[in-house]
Chains A and B, each alone.
Chain A
Amino acid sequence: MTPIISLSHRSLLNRRGTVSLTVLAIALSVMMVLGVERLRHDAKASFANTISGTDLIVGARGGTIQLLLYAVFRIGNATNNVSWKSYRDIAARPGVAWTVPLSLGDSHKGFRVMGTTADYFRHYRYGRKQNLAFTAGAPFKNIFDTVLGADAARYLGYKLGDDIVVAHGLGQVGFLRHDDKPFKVTGILKKTGTPVDRTVHVSLAGIEAIHIDWRSGSRIPGMAVDAEALREGSLQPKAITAFLVGTTTRFGAFHLQRAINEYPREPLLATLPGVALQELWDLMGTAETALRAISVFVVVAGLLGMLTMLLSSLNERRREIAILRSVGARPIHVFGLFSLEAGLISLAGALVGLIFLYLGLIIARPIIDAQYGLLLSIGPPSLRDMVLLGLVVSAGILVGMVPAYRAYRHSLADGMIIRL
C-alpha cells in the first residue's frame, strides 16, 4: 500500500473544498456524540453527588421521587407536612445520630428559601462526604440571619450584612412580601455544584416568624407583630416539610426506615437517598437513551455525507483510476486509495470534532453552570471518548469501502483505456 499513501492526502488536498465540508460535518457529529456523553456522565456524577452521608430522608407519605425532588433538589412542593411532634419523636429514638429539619415554601427573587437549623451546616454532606464550607461569615445565630448558597449570593450580588426580603410562595416576584421582617446575610457558602448553591438558608424560627401573623397565605388584618418583639419570644414551628436523618449504624437505617414507614400517628415516608437517586435517574433513562440515539444518528448522517461525497466524485475520478492503472497500480491499490481517503477524512473529522468539543465546553461551561448548576468537566478525553472516536473512524473506513469497492470494480471493468 506504500505507493498510494502519499497519493491519498494529495488527492484530498486537491478537493479541499468538498473534503473540508465533509470533515466539518463529521466533526460536528463527533462533537455532539462526545458532548452528549460528557453531559450525561457529568450530570449523573453531579446528581449522585448531591447528597451523601445522609442515611434517610423523611417526609409526608407520598412518592419517593417526589420526596427526593423537594427535599434535596428543591423542585416542586410537598403535598403535606411533617408535624413537629412526630419529628421530635423520631429524632429522639435510639440509633438516631442526628437529624436536620427542612422547611420549604418561600422564595427570594427566584431562589428557594429553606428553613433549617445550624445542624444543617454540620451534617449535610455532598460529593465524597464533603461538608458545607463558608466563603464568608458563619451559620445563622439569630432569627433574621440568613446564609446564602454560592450561586444565590453571586447572582443577587449580596454581601455579608445586606438585608433581604423574603417573598411568600415561590414566584420570581412574589407580590406578597414579608417586607416587614427583613433578613440579614450572615454567611455565604462555598460552591458545591448541588442545589445548595441556589438556596437561601434561614433558621426554622425565621420561617415561623415571617408567617406568625399570616394565615392561609395572606396577612391577618390588624395583626402585625413587631420584628423586635419576635426576637424575644420562642418560635416553635408546628410543622416542617421534611427532615434528614443520620443513624449510628448502617443497619440502623433500615430498621428506622421500617419504623418510620409504619409510624402509627402520622403517614410518613422514609427513603434511602441512594435508592431514591437511582430511581430518579432510571426515570430519566429514557431521555438519556433518546439523546444517545439522536447523537448516533447524527454521526450516521455525517458519515453518509462522506459516502455521498466519495460516491459522487467517483465518476469524475474514473480517468484518474485509469491513469493509475496504466502506470502499474493494481485494483487493490485503487481500493486502498479510496479507503485511505475515507479513513483520513473520518480521522480528521474525529480530531476536529475533539477540538470543537473542548471549544464548546469552554464556551458552554459557564452558561450551563449558571443555568443548571452543573459544572462540566474539562479533563483530557476519557477512555470512553477514545473508544467512541475509534468507532467513528472505523465506521468511516467501513463506509469508505463502498466507494472503494465501486472504484475497484471500475478499475477492473474500464481497464486503462476509457474515453469520456
Chain B
Amino acid sequence: MTSHAIRLTDVCFRWRKEIPPVIEIPRLSIRAGEKVLLRGPSGSGKTTLLNLLGGVTIPERGKIETLDTDWVALSAAQRDRFRADNVGFIFQMFNLIPYLSLVENVLLPCRFSVGRRNAAMRKSPDIAREASRLLTHMQLDVDTLHGRPVNELSTGQQQRVAAARALIGSPSIIIADEPTSALDADARYIFLDLLFREIEQAEATLVFVSHDAALSKLFDRTVELEELNNGVTK
C-alpha cells in the first residue's frame, strides 16, 4: 500500500490551445489519511483542479495519480468506474436528488459501484442499515426525517446527508468542494466535526477546498493554491 493518496507531477491544463494554461502544478502529493485544506480565492482554478483530481478532466501534460493509478492512462469508462469505487464527493449545496428519499440519496453510490456496495455490506447487515448508521453518525434522526422530501431539510442537514453519501462504501478519498460555505458558523463546526470523525474512522483521505483561511487550524495541512499553481488565472 502506498503512502500517497494523491500525487500530481508536472500537471498542465488549458481550456484551449491558444490561451495560457490555467493549471500548472509541478508537484503536489497528499498522503493517505491526510486531511488537506486547498485554500484559494474564487477564480484561482479550484474547480478545474477538483475536476482534475476527480479524473473528470484530463491534463494536457503530466501525471495525476490516485492510489497509484494514473487517471491519464485510463479510458473514460475506466475513469468513471475507478472514480465511483474510490472517490466520494461533497459539493457546496444542492447535493441531493429531490425525488429520492433520504436513505436512497445516501445509497446512490452503491447503485453504480459494486465495490462500494460490497464494502457497505461488510460494515452492516445490509446497505440500507449502513446508510442509516452513517446518517445517525451524522446526527440525523432517520426515523423522524425519513418520510420528508429531502429538499425540505435544512442546508446543514442536507450537507450532512451528502457527507454520509460520500462516506458510504468507504471510498479512500473524499473530495469536498466548499461544503460549509452555505452554513452558518455553528453548523459549519458541527459539520466539520462529524465529517472528520467519520473520515478518521474510515482512514480516508480528505481534500477540502475552501476560501476560508479560518478553517486552516482544523486540518493537517493547508495548501495555498496561489502558491502551488503557476497557471494564469483571473
Contact = CB atoms under 8 A, between A and B. Distances in A.
B57 A323 contact: no
A333 B111 CA distance: 11
Nearest to B56: A415
Contacts of A326: 54, 89, 91
For A3, A7, A323, A326, the residue with the greatest tally of chain B CB atoms inside 10 Å of its CB is A326
Contacts of A319: 94
Interface in B136-165: 165
Interface in A1-18: 3, 7, 10-11, 13-14
Contacts of B97: 320, 323-324
A328 B91 contact: no
A327 interface: yes
Interface stretch (B19-27, B76-84, B123-131, B200-208): B76-84
Contacts of B91: 322-323, 326, 416-417
Label chain A's interface by main secondary structure. helix
Contacts of B47: 417, 419
B109 A328 contact: yes
Contact of A328 (B51, B56, B84): B84
A10 B112 contact: no
Contacts of B99: 10-11, 13-14
Contacts of B116: 328
Contacts of B83: 328
Q: Bin the interface of chain A by size.
A: 20 to 34
Interface in A397-418: 415-417
A330 interface: yes
Given A327-B84, A330-B80, A14 B98 contact: yes
B183 to A, nearest CB: 17
B216 interface: no
A284 B111 CA distance: 58
A352 interface: no
A206 to B, nearest CB: 76
Contacts of B120: none
B44 interface: no
Interface of B: 47, 50-51, 54, 56-57, 76-77, 80-81, 83-85, 89, 91-92, 94-100, 108-109, 111-113, 116, 165, 177
Interface of A: 3, 7, 10-11, 13-14, 319-320, 322-331, 333, 415-417, 419-420
Nearest 10 CB-CB pairings of A with B: A328-B84, A328-B112, A14-B99, A415-B56, A3-B111, A327-B108, A326-B89, A330-B80, A327-B109, A10-B99
24 contacts: A3-B112, A7-B100, A10-B99, A10-B100, A11-B99, A14-B99, A320-B97, A324-B97, A327-B109, A328-B84, A328-B85, A328-B109, A330-B81, A330-B112, A331-B76, A331-B80, A415-B54, A416-B54, A416-B91, A417-B47, A417-B50, A417-B177, A419-B47, A419-B92
